[in-house]
Amino acid sequence: MPDYPKPAWDFHGGLHIDGHKSESLATPLREAKIPASLTLPLQQHIGLAAEPVVQVGDEVLKGQLIARASDYVSANLHAPTSGRVTEIAERPIAHPSGLSAQCVVIQSDGQDRWTELPEPIADFREADPADLRERLRWAGIVGLGGAVFPTNVKTNTTGRTVDTLIINAAECEPYITCDDRLMRDHPGDVIDGALILQHIVSAARVLIGIEDNKPEAIAALQADIDTRGLDEVKLVVVPSKYPSGGEKQLIYLLTGIEVPSRGLPLEVGILCQNVATSAAIADAVLRGRPLISRIVTLTGKGIRQPGNLRVTIGTPIRDLVEEMGGYTGQAHRLIMGGPMMGFALGSDELPVVKGSNCFIAASREEIPDPLAASPCIRCGECVKVCPAQLLPQQLYWYARSRDFDKTQDHSLFDCIECGCCAYVCPANIPLVHYYRFAKTEIWAGERERGKADHARRRHEFHEARLKRLEEERQARLRKKKEALGKKSAAGGDPKKAAIEAAMKRVAAKKAAQGQEPSPEQARDQEKEA
Partner 1 sequence: MHFPITSSPHLQGGNAIRSVMGQVLLALVPGTVALWWYFGWGVVINVALAGVTAVAAEWLVLKLRKRDPWPAVSDLSALVTAWLLALALPPLLPWWQTLVGSLFAIVLVKQLFGGIGFNPFNPAMAAYAFLLISFPADMTHWLQPSVLTGENLPLQETLQAIFQGTAVLGAQWDAISGATPLDHMRTELSRNLMISEIRQSPVWGDFGGLGWEWVGNWFLLGGLFLIWRGVISWRIPVSMLAALLLIAGMFWAVDPQTHPFPAFHLFSGAAILGAFFIATDPVSASTTPRGQLIYGALIGLLVFAIRTWGGYPDAVAFAVLLMNMAAPTIDHYTQPRVFGAREEDHG
Q: How far is the CB of 165 from partner 1 (least distance, A)?
A: 20
**Taking each helix axis from N to C terminus, what angle separates 431-490 and 494-515, rounded to the nearest 10 degrees?**
160
Binding mask 52-91 for partner 1 (x = CB under 8 A): ----------------------------------------
Assess 272 for contact with partner 1 (CB under 8 A): no
Within 426-455, the residues that bind partner 1 by CB under 8 A are 426-428, 430, 432-433, 436
Residues in the chain: 529
Q: How far is the CB of 324 from partner 1 (least distance, A)?
A: 14
Toward partner 1, which CB reaches closer, 233 or 334?
334
> Which of 40, 259, 284, 296 contacts partner 1 by CB under 8 A?
259
Binding mask 489-528 for partner 1 (x = CB under 8 A): ----------------------------------------
Among candidate residues 233, 181, 238, the one with its CA nearest the CA of residue 209: 238
Assess 348 for contact with partner 1 (CB under 8 A): yes
Segment lying near partner 1 (by CB under 8 A), choices 307-315, 410-418, 503-511, 514-522: 410-418
Could you tell me where the beta strands, DSSP code E, fall in 16-126? 30-31, 37-41, 51-52, 59-60, 65-68, 77-78, 83-92, 100-108
Toward partner 1, which CB reaches closer, 65 or 431?
431
Assess 203 for contact with partner 1 (CB under 8 A): no
Assess 238 for contact with partner 1 (CB under 8 A): no
Contact 127, 249 (CB under 8 A): no
Q: How far is the CB of 100 from partner 1 (least distance, A)?
A: 15
Cβ-based neighbours of 176, under 8 Å, separated by 6 or more = 21, 297, 337, 338, 357, 358
Distance CA 8, CA 11 (A): 10
Assess 378 for contact with partner 1 (CB under 8 A): yes
Q: How far is the CB of 22 from partner 1 (least distance, A)?
A: 17
Q: Could you tell me the sign of the dihedral formed by the alpha carbons of 334, 338, 339, 342, in that order?
A: negative
Toward partner 1, which CB reaches closer, 215 or 370?
370
Within 309-328, the residues that bind partner 1 by CB under 8 A are 318, 327
Edge-to-edge, what's the strand order for the sheet holding 270-274?
Answer: 233-238, 205-211, 164-169, 270-274
Assess 261 for contact with partner 1 (CB under 8 A): yes
What burial class does residue 101 get, using C-beta atoms within 10 Å of its C-beta: 0-12 exposed, 13-18 middle, 19+ buried?
A: middle
Q: How far is the CB of 202 from partner 1 (least distance, A)?
A: 25
> Which of 110, 256, 380, 450 contacts partner 1 by CB under 8 A?
380
> Which of 46, 53, 391, 501 contacts partner 1 by CB under 8 A?
391
Q: Give me the amino acid identity at 123.
A: D
Q: Give me the amino acid identity at 425.
A: C
Distance CA 334, CA 358 (A): 10
Segment lying near partner 1 (by CB under 8 A), choices 181-189, 270-278, 387-395, 489-497: 387-395
Contact 117, 63 (CB under 8 A): yes
Toward partner 1, which CB reaches closer, 68 or 436?
436
Going from the C-alpha of 396 to that of each of 150, 406, 408, the distances in angstroms are 32, 11, 12
Q: How far is the CB of 338 from partner 1 (least distance, A)?
A: 9
Assess 264 for contact with partner 1 (CB under 8 A): no
Assign residue 47 a region (left: φ > 0; alpha: ψ between -120 and 50; beta: otherwise).
Answer: left
Distance CA 56, CA 64 (A): 15
Instruction: Give the chain's largest Cα–Cα span.
Output: 115
> Which of 142, 194, 225, 376 contacts partner 1 by CB under 8 A?
376
Within 123-152, the residues that bind partner 1 by CB under 8 A are none
> Which of 280, 311, 331, 352 contacts partner 1 by CB under 8 A?
331
**Coil vs helix vs strand at 468:** helix
Segment lying near partner 1 (by CB under 8 A), choices 154-162, 330-338, 438-446, 487-495: 330-338
Write out the H or E segment, with its range, that includes residue 119: none
